Structures are given as C-alpha cells and as structure tokens.
Structure 1
Amino acid sequence: MLPPSVGDMDVTVPTAELAETAGNAVRVLSGRVVDPVLSGLLISAESDGFVLAGTDRERSFHARCPGVTRRGGRVLVPGRPFAETLRALAEPEVRLAVEGARLAVRTAGGRFALPLLDIDFHPGVDEPPQVVGTVAGSVLAAAVPPVAAAASSDETVPAFTGIRVRSEGERLVLVATDRYRLAVCSLPWEPRRGGLDVLVPAAVLAETARQVRGTSRVSLHHTAGDAERVALTWLESTVTSGVLASPFPDEAKFFSAEAECSVTVRADVLAASVRRVAPYAGPYSSITLEVGDGEVWVRGSDPSTGEAEERVEVGICGERVSRAYRATYLAEALNAYGEATIRFGMRGIRQGSIITAVDARPGGIELRYLVMPLVPR
C-alpha cells in the first residue's frame, strides 16, 4: 500500500505515455464519487520509476511509467483535470514538480498547476490478490466487447450490469445479458490454481479489455471472502474491482431448444441491410426478418417516414418463418461477428434466436449470441 507521505517531487516523464496512463486510470475509476480525495490520482516518483495509482474503494488502478527522477515524493492531485491537461499537450516530455500547495506540470512554454489534495485521507491502493490463470491479451480484447454490449446499463438491477467470468478447465467463459439478449463467449486460458466464477462489472472489464489490446499475456487474480475482489494485471499495469454479489442466471437453458429455421449468411452483409432499413424501423424500433426461398427480406415500417425492404440471399434449413427484432439489438449482435459467416437460428416466437459462427474464429474464441424477438402486438 502506498504510504500517505509527501515529498519535494521533481520528475520528467514522456508526455504521451503519461497521458495515456492517466486517461486509462480515470476511465477505470468511477466519476461519481462525492469525496474529492477518491477522485484523485496518487503520483509517486521513486528512484526506480514513476507510479500512477488511484481508487474509488470499489475499483483501483496502478501503473508504472518511465521517468527521470530528480527528487522523489508522493502527491495526490485531481485525476480528471490532470489527465485532460496531459492529453492536450504536444511536447514530448513534461516536468512535474511540487511548488508549494501545487503540482506544476511544466513544458518549455507553459505551466499548469493543480492543487494538492490531502494524501493523509487517501486509503491507498492494495496489491492484487493471487493469480488464478492467464489469457492472451489480444484474445481477451476481442472476446469482451461483444459480451459487454449485451450487459444492461440499468443499475437498479445490478446483476445484469455485470459479466459472469467462469473457468471451465482450460476455457474461460464470459456471459452477459440485459434480459432481451444474451452473449456467451468461450476463450482459451491457462489456469494456475483453483477455479473462477465471479460477476465483474461490465464497464470495468470492457475498459480493461481495451487497454490490454496488443498485450501478450494478462493475469487474472481473485480472492474470495468478505472482501471478494478480482484483478487483471499486464505489463506494468493493474486494474482491481469488487465483484457483484447478485445471482446470475444459468445460460445453458436458453440454448437448449432446436431452431425452427436456420439461415446461413455473412454477418456483415445482413448487418449492412439492417443498418439501411433501420431508419424505417418505426416507433418501436422493429425490424422484421422474413425468410423466403433462398432469401431473407429485411423490412421496416414507420408511419411518419414510410417503409423499406431489402432482399438478402441466404442459405436456409427448416421452415419459412418471420420474426421481428429491435433494430439496435439485432445490429449489435450481427456486428459482433464482423465478416464471418454465421448461422442464425430462429426458434419459437417467445424464444430467443441464436447466432453462431459457422467457422472457427481467430484465437480460439467461440461466441454465441441470443436475441429475443419482439412479440406481435
């Protein structure tokens, strides 16, 4: 834990790297804290490096940056203004120096001074819990976004704002739902000790996945008990989060029924058609997929702007059916597969339609997406 001490800091740091790290930190930490101390970033200049850290008690961030230290010290400054100041600078390096009750960010032609917050009241940033396994950074970065998109933003039902992260042998399974759609993604990982089954806030996991893009390996950490926490570490960075305690539905039962009709088509082709018809989706944002002979008609109708329909050639197996979907949900589900060929399985009117990739995806990722059709009015 960082001790609550202040020194006469004077350090020179590469601007671009510090700006990126500070931006990553403020995106991880909550912007809605009342206590200004918890909205601050701890800056630590030491003989062997420069550390940026912060916590809002639920989440924490810790990263090390390159720098040349003249005088060491630790300070606490407002996080968002610090990150925004650095992002606006074009100079290759900045000098950070304590000047009285301010931390001065100095460039060749400018000075930007931020007030020092009371570091004595900051709780500090704890070390991450024990490692339970590792995963390739590029694979995690590709797997998380489509799952996170299916999570809810309605915090009155906290369970649905999370992503369930569950280990199954040498596979890691990510699950999220907002009750109208459900995404399940399985990816390879290397377990170290014990199992893993936690509900992580989707916003935290999505932001972390963005940051680890291009990283060779990411370690997952977990500790159980009264203060259950999960952490991800890579290179010189760590993100830690509390877990959601609410129960989460078992996704297996939602994929059990057979499809009445399966359509095979390139995801981007169908997505493009949905995008063109969407402006005519009407007050309920309803897009209809009507299956014919070797084709699907994508239709939308709006009393105020008119109607649109477009034919997409597809492969078909099963009955000819018609299903309506919310345009945004359908488009997001299709976009998750990029240019891959998918199988779109339509089931009963009150059962979700299931989307899967026909061929194996890069990195050993297996994605299943369920979208609930709209019940006819």
Structure 2
Amino acid sequence: MKLSLEPTRFAAAVADAARALTTRPPVPVLAGLKLEAAAGQLTVAAFDYEASVQAVLPADITRAGSVLVPGRLLTDITRTVKGKNLVDLELVGPRLVLTSGSTRYTMHTLPLEEYPSLPKLGDAAGTTTGRDLAHAVAQVASAAGRDDTLPVLTGIHLTVADGKLTLAATDRYRFAVRSIDWTSTSNTTEGQAVIPAKALLDSAKMLADAEQVELALPTSQGVFGMAGPARSTTMRALEGQLPDYQKLWPTEFEATATVDSEELIAAVKRVALVAERGQPVQLNFGQDALSLSAGSSDDAEARDRIDAAFDTVTGVPLTIAFNPAFLLDGLSAIDADAIKFSIVGPTKPALITGATKDGSDLGDDALDYLLMPIRLSK
C-alpha cells in the first residue's frame, strides 16, 4: 500500500473514525483503525462490536492495499501533521511509514486478518438534513438516562410516521420530544428504533454538515445505520421501547407563563449556586413576575426575580420546584428567545416549551420538555 493525501482531510477522517474506538477493547485488534486504499480513495474505519464508523477521502494511490494500525497513535499523529505538505503513507513489511515534509513516523501494524468484518449498512428508509438531525438529537439527548442497569432509558427513541422523524428520550424524571421533516426513500413509511443516546449524538455531530443524511432502520440483526456523502456509521439498537409520551402529556393547565430565555437561564444559574445536592430551585409565579429561590435560612440562601408575561392566571400565585440541573438542561436545549411554562399543579409534571419574543408558540415540531417537579415539604 502506498498513497498520498491532503493532511487536513486525513486528520478529519481519522478523528471521525476514532469516535468508534473504545478505551477498553474486548480484543486487541479493535484498538486499531483500518485503512483501505482503493479506487482513488482511502477509507478509514473503526468498530467496537457496538458501533462502527467509516470515513472516506480522496487519495493519490500508487499501490492499493489495506492495513490495521493503532488507532489512538494515528489520531495523535494526524493532529500534529499540518501544513502544506502532503501526507505520504507506505506499508513497508510489517510497518506503516507516514511522512510529511521532514517529519517521518514509523508505526507497527496489527494483524489485519483478525479484524472482524464491519456491519453492513441496510437499505435507507429515508433522509433528512444533517443540520436538523444534529440539532434535534442534541436537544433530546439531555433527557436520556445514564443508568446502564436500565439500558432502554439510555437511548433515544426514533419514530418514523406521516413524513416526520420524531425523537424522544426520558430518564423517568423528564421527557424530551422533538420532530423534524423526513423524506421516505423506500416502501417503509413507518418504523421505530431505540438507539444509544451517546452513539447517536456523536454520529449526528459527525454528519451535521451533510445536506442529506440517509437513515437505515434496524435490520434483523438489530443494526441501525446513518450515511452522508463521505461518512457512514452503524449502531446496535437497544431492545425495548420507551413509554408512550402521548399518554403522559398534559392538555389542561392551571397556569401558563412566558419568560425571556436569557434572563431565566441566568437567574436559575444564580440561585442554583446555593442549592446543595438534591435541593430544588423554587419558582413562584405571581401576577406579573417570576420569583426564584433556593437554599434555606439555616444555610446559604438565594432569591431572584424576573418579569413574566402570563397568558393564564387562574390559580396564581403558584409555587413549583425543580431539580436545577434538570431544569437548566431543558432551558438550554429549547434554544428559543422565550420559555413558556404550562403548569398543571405544583406536584404534576410541567410542560416547558419555546416561544418567540412576542410569546407565540414555535409550532408542533419544536422541542417539548416535560419535567417532574420536586415535592416541597410543608
């Protein structure tokens, strides 16, 4: 194998493929990156039995071939090899020689024959834009669970129906849901899967610049796939399903309020400084303002106040308390000029959504964040 390629694109391909490298590979060869040179391009691939990534870039190939090299070492090397000089790769016996200008690295190779075959990407069920997908995944991922003893709650539930791709995640304390446009490219107009949130988040970031991303729903082997123009990835789907969020969503509210997003996030951060672990931030909705407080008179205490525009004032004043980290996760994920609270009662889940500066809703496809409050002691 012998080839030349542009250093910046090579570094990007290696970094993207390295997303699938694990810190504790089940077998030594899975710590490697597979390089395959053929037909005017180099494919860089990684696989850890759960997820795989393939990154493709153009290359000037003198001699085609494949090699398996230590992934972390190659990643570190490509970060440092920059400039106008091309990167030359040549397999010399059991060593891979990387040269760029006056810089030369020699790396030992791993046994290529022991490397497993990468999962095949299934037929695409449909497409969406990389930007929309990355934004939606990032928004709902904050609500995904982190308890590995409940694997299905660590995933994001994808549902395809009626020309929409709906993403949902929950850790039992909050539930985030977001829909984006979806174009079907097969006879499959409906389908669903639960994909590990972290793997999906990393893959969506990698494909964020793609004008079109193809999604392949899980095959009989439970493999979910995503592909852009020069990057593709597979992930093993999780077994099970999330609860039906439509049955959890409240439809009647005691009070609703619209608050400036930046002011609210800043105020929550300020009062949360005194909220020790497990302590909530209290929100008191009055006639024309939102008061926030945290802590106790026996220890540190904080209070703040911001203006609020109310749509419905029945039941006001009303006090509701939230875990400050969960609240901030939702407020940050909504990414809107204003935040709208729709409150059923102080002990019932509150619906938090985005709004425009004039208080108008963002629409049915925008992020919905349902958050369970913390019951206050009398």
Q: TM-score, normalised by structure 2?
A: 0.92
Q: Distance in 2 between matches of 1:184 and 1:74?
A: 43
Q: Aligned-pair RMSD on alpha carbons?
A: 1.9
Q: Secondary structure at the match of 2:105?
A: strand
Match of 2:308 in 1: 314
Match of 1:254 in 2: 248
Alignment of 1:145-164 (within 5 A): 145-164=138-157
Change (3 A) 1:100 1:175: same
State the shift of 1:303 in Å.
6.8
The aligned amino acid for 1:224 is: T
State the shift of 1:261 in Å.
1.7
Question: Which range moved further: 176-185 or 245-254?
Answer: 245-254
The reply on whether 1:18 has 2:33 as its aligned counterpart is: no
Deviation string for 1:251-296 (max 9, x for gaps)?
1122135222211112222111111222111232421111112111
Q: Secondary structure at the match of 2:125?
A: strand
Match of 2:368 in 1: 368
Structure 2 unaligned residues grouped into runs of 5+: none
Match of 2:104 in 1: 111
Alignment of 1:311-350 (within 5 A): 311-316=305-310, 317=312, 318-319=314-315, 320-350=317-347
Q: TM-score, normalised by structure 1?
A: 0.92
Match of 1:196 in 2: 191
Question: Which range moved further: 86-95 or 246-255?
Answer: 86-95
State the shift of 1:198 in Å.
0.3
Contact 2:192 2:217 in 1 (8 A): no
The aligned amino acid for 1:351 is: K
Contact 2:250 2:344 in 1 (8 A): no
Change (3 A) 1:60 1:283: closer
Aligned-pair identity (%): 29
Alignment of 1:1-377 (within 5 A): 9-92=1-84, 93-192=86-185, 193-194=187-188, 195-225=190-220, 227-301=221-295, 306-316=300-310, 317=312, 318-319=314-315, 320-358=317-355, 359=360, 361=362, 365-377=365-377
Structure 1 unaligned residues grouped into runs of 5+: 1-8
Change (3 A) 1:339 1:368: closer
Change (3 A) 1:315 1:189: same
Question: Which range moved further: 327-336 or 268-277?
Answer: 268-277
Contact 2:122 2:219 in 1 (8 A): no
Q: Distance in 2 between matches of 1:88 and 1:305?
A: 50
Question: Which range moved further: 61-70 or 302-311?
Answer: 302-311
Question: Which range moved further: 274-283 or 304-313?
Answer: 304-313
State the shift of 1:29 in Å.
4.0
Q: For this pair of structures, how many residues does the alignment match?
A: 367
Contact 2:163 2:181 in 1 (8 A): yes
Runs of 4+ in 1 over 4 A off after TM superposition: 302-305, 359-362
Deviation string for 1:82-132 (max 9, x for gaps)?
112211222343222213322222222222222211111111224310110
Q: Distance in 2 between matches of 1:105 and 1:371?
A: 52
